Structure 1
């Protein structure tokens, strides 16, 4: 056994609190530590994973809607304005790409995706409630429940602490 080996130290300190690995500084964020050492790896809250999955599923839904819309456009489905339909297709695909980026960078612990995820969830709620009350309860629930869950989890203190850094910067909190 080598006391200098970080893997062995990680196994020995598995029961220690996260603040012990962070150097014990009172102002240091216990969820964000230096990379490179398994004993000081970043602890990702489960809520972040749930939010990222919800956002990625919404991105997938937009991508599928864009593919369907594009095939309808190519097969000659009647539209009032061809260029308006092309613009709508571009918006669907761009929103899908944006949401995939939000999900990816949210998982990596960046600060900016929380705002993007919140706005996306508010938009989904603004579509989901009329769908729910307009005679399509299953489709409405499929939009409202994940969006409301993601909004609640976005304000969890562990999620905020995890995503408290800008690109390449030390912890902000």
Structure 2
């Protein structure tokens, strides 16, 4: 079986392997990822007012996202362990959804990108919001988890359609 030329995690026989990045230059890398948690308006108000029975939903989700980014290599096969220099997780209430926009940023200086770390942080933050509020709203939906922006490395700058760039 012949591997597709663009799939770097497959060798010439089609077997999965960790990409060798030892010859790549160390550069500053940043990735921004996001997602949404759509919920009932009452659930959003409960979270924003800090009245959830399980405690501080957003504080807990922020910590969970940061912890997840730091452990991405343990969760996603073939990811390199990275020395992250910064991880942030932020939330914006959107009463029009209604729900929460989640945005995670991961930064490192290294030989490989931090997209998976940012995506993992955003995903786990969304899941933590669901976990902490599911007793009052089992119908919540996690949606639109995606890479919003990537900076650094050989492939340069990527900006998802509709995004305005790093804040």
| TM-score (normalizing by structure 2) | 0.27
Q: Which has the higher contact order (CA 8 A, sep 6+)?
A: 2
Greater fraction of residues in helix: 1
| TM-score (normalizing by structure 1) | 0.26
Computing the radius of gyration from Cα coordinates, the structure with the larger value is 1
